[in-house]
Amino acid sequence: MDTLANDDTWQRLWASREAIARQSINGLFAEDAARFDAFSLTAAGILFDYSKQPLSRATRDRLLALARAREVARLRDAMLAGEPINRSEGRAVLHTALRVPAGEIGWAGPDIAREVEDTRSRMAELAEAIRTGRRTGATGQPIEHVINIGIGGSDLGPRLVLEALAPLADGPSVHFVANVDGVELQRAMACCDPERTLVLVVSKSFGTVETMANAHEAMAWLRRRVPADDVLERQVMAVTANLERVSELGLDPALALPMWDWVGGRYSLWSAVGFAIMLGIGPSAFAELLAGAHAMDRHFSEAPLDSNMPVLMGLVSVLNGTLLGRRSQAVVPYTERLGRLSAYLQQLVMESNGKSVDRDGRSISLPTAAAIWGQTGTPGQHAFFQALHQGTDVVPVDFVGVARPVAGEHGDPLELTANLFAQSQALMQGRGDPGMAAERHCPGNRPSNTLLLEALTPSSLGALIALYEHRTFVEAAIWGINAFDQFGVELGKVLATDLKPLIAGGQAPDGVDGSTAGLIARYRDWRG
């Protein structure tokens, strides 16, 4: 049995599992007039309301005892200090060091602080030179477009941030290309003037096949369309932790922006991986993004466990997902600006914690990361909310709202906010008047969190993302997981490499399973 299932504090929670599942959330409010105050807190510009969870004060105490027993605080401090907590890869995990303000040393010490600051200054200088037109393309034209080629962590974070903060965009337009199917790249190339375009090739490993294929394609386009011998030198930049491989693409490693092996891909938007963000909204807005994340880091590091937002959020998630077996979680932001949030969180949460062995290689018998999904409200209300209210599965929801609308954006904030609050209310209260037809009955007692941002600013967005990063860390600590490797992704990559010659070749695909052989045969047939 794994260490969590064996833990006394877990076993006590397990013993009260049925009672917690039956716990009436409405009843908890009826008993405790101060429930909202006792089950909500504010940090770094975010209000976290977890009062609509099946949590009595006693259950919360038991969860906090679990956090202590699983040494969440010690593991957090080890991460912040740069201990090699990613044991399977022998690496430190220091995305928090990327957010330490300029001039401060931070938890990880002066060497790391210096490296981070040097790179940040280089990014800012370069970004300003490009944004002001001092640094031009190879034919002297200003850079008006950026094509960011990367996938996973080298795409999702910068994409989320630039979509969320689009009203602040005052630099070149940024186009994101992740998929190797060619659609995004074609679309980007169709609307960019090649003489005014900078291509960023963003890859921690600089070996990801999709990214390299798209980079080759984009570089060929620049070579074809820009009449200058030094076009690649002037208009293609690499961002990577693997500087040696940069020259394989014909680029100068000296012009590359570095990242480090102590930053995981899905935790990397704060590094040079976020260069597109800096180009799009400028170095000072980027600095505000980092400052918001740093404010959440400080809160995570300093607040006692019982008033620590990521800790409480992680415990609530473990309660729902592991104790009560609710195997998916919906994330519903009430602003189109955060439309990319659930996609971003899918990688953050599921690539980090979608694992079934602990950090010592023992198998875990209890359920770990739940599936994350969602879309924006109110459109989501007219799609999947029916199942949230009346379906057979209980799906905990994170509602994300913004109090102050973005200046200059129209829409009806009152309508939006009324819908946001009404949905969590309806999920909790349900509806069951006597004599009501069964199909109209809503069982209620369905849990949700609400995260309310005062405004959607670089700072609050940074804090929101850092909150989810730390929530993911807390859950990993409870389960005993190393959240910072991703070996599961490797197998598919290896098999794709093996299959390519079989799919392309004329010979019968020997040595593969029947389904794959059948698919290859039909593909070849239809492809002609």
The catalytic site residues sit at 351, 382, 493
Instruction: For Cα atoms 59, 65, 70, give the angle at the middle one, nearest 5 degrees.
Output: 130
Shortest distance in whole angstroms from residue 265 CB to ligand F6P: 3
Chosen residue from 96, 197, 208, 368 binding ligand F6P by CB under 6 A: 208
Three-state DSSP state, 363? strand
Count of positions on this chain that bind ligand F6P (CB under 6 A): 14
Nearest distance from C-beta of residue 178 to ligand F6P, angstroms? 9
245-274 residues near ligand F6P, rule: CB under 6 A: 265-266
- The alpha carbon dihedral of 56, 58, 62, 63 has a sign of positive
The C-alpha atoms of residue 154 and residue 273 are separated, in whole angstroms, by 6
Measure the CA–CA gap between 501 and 445, rounded to whole angstroms: 54
Rank residues 212 and 309 by Cβ distance to ligand F6P and give the closer one: 212
Binding to ligand F6P by residue 203, rule CB under 6 A? yes
Q: Considering beta carbons, is residue 203 or 342 the nearer one to ligand F6P?
A: 203
Nearest approach, Cβ of residue 218 and ligand F6P (Å): 15
**Closer to ligand F6P by Cβ: residue 264 or 401:** 264
Q: How far is the CB of 351 from ligand F6P (least distance, A)?
A: 6
3-state secondary structure of 403: strand
Instruction: Determine, following the binding rule CB under 6 A, whether residue 486 of this chain makes contact with ligand F6P.
Output: yes
Q: Which is nearer to ligand F6P, 151 or 277 (CB)?
A: 151
**Cα 152 to Cα 155: distance, rounded to the nearest angstrom:** 5
Q: Which of 70, 95, 204, 355 binds ligand F6P (CB under 6 A)?
A: 204
Q: What is the DSSP letter of 431?
A: B
* Strand pairing category for 236-240 and 397-404: unpaired
Does residue 521 interact with ligand F6P by CB under 6 A? Answer: no
Q: By C-beta, is 48 or 206 nearer to ligand F6P? A: 206
Among 387, 436, 489, 508, binds ligand F6P (CB under 6 A): 489
CA–CA distance, 4 with 292 (Å, rounded to integer): 33
342 lines the binding site for ligand F6P (CB under 6 A): no
- CA dihedral 475→481→485→487, nearest 10 degrees, is -120
Report strand pairing: 257-258 vs 145-149.
Answer: unpaired
Cβ contact 398:53 at 8 Å: no
From residue 133 to residue 172, the character string flagging contacts with ligand F6P as x (rule: CB under 6 A) and all else as - is ------------------xxxx------------------
Binding mask 298-337 for ligand F6P (x = CB under 6 A): ----------------------------------------
| Beta carbon of residue 95, minimum distance to ligand F6P (angstroms, whole number) | 13
Minimum distance of ligand F6P from residue 107's CB (angstroms): 24
Of 197 and 211, the one with the shorter C-beta distance to ligand F6P is 211
Instruction: Say how far apart CA 61 and CA 401 lie, in whole Å.
Output: 28
Please pick, from the candidates 197, 211, 320, 352, the single residue that binds ligand F6P as defined by CB under 6 A: 211
Shortest CB 273 distance to ligand F6P, Å: 8
**Dist CA 257 CA 204 (whole Å):** 11
Contact criterion met (CB below 8 Å) for 432 and 26: no
Q: Which residues pair with 332 in a beta bridge?
A: 399
Q: In the 8-state DSSP scheme, what is residue 138? A: T
SS3 string, 157-217, reads: HHHHHHHHCHHHCCCCEEEEECCCCCHHHHHHHHHCCHHHEEEEEECCCCCCHHHHHHHHH
Q: Does 446 bind ligand F6P (CB under 6 A)?
A: no
Pick one of 40, 141, 173, 205: the residue that binds ligand F6P (CB under 6 A): 205
User: CB of 252: closest distance to ligand F6P in angstroms?
Assistant: 19
Whose Cβ is closer to ligand F6P: residue 347's or residue 424's? Answer: 347
Contacts of 64 (CB under 8 A, 6+ apart): 305, 306, 315
Task: Tell me the pairing of strands 397-404 and 448-455.
Answer: parallel
* One-letter identity of residue 151: I
Whichever of 151 and 406 has its CB closer to ligand F6P, that residue is: 151
Residues that bind ligand F6P (CB under 6 A): 151-154, 203-205, 208, 211, 265-266, 351, 486, 489
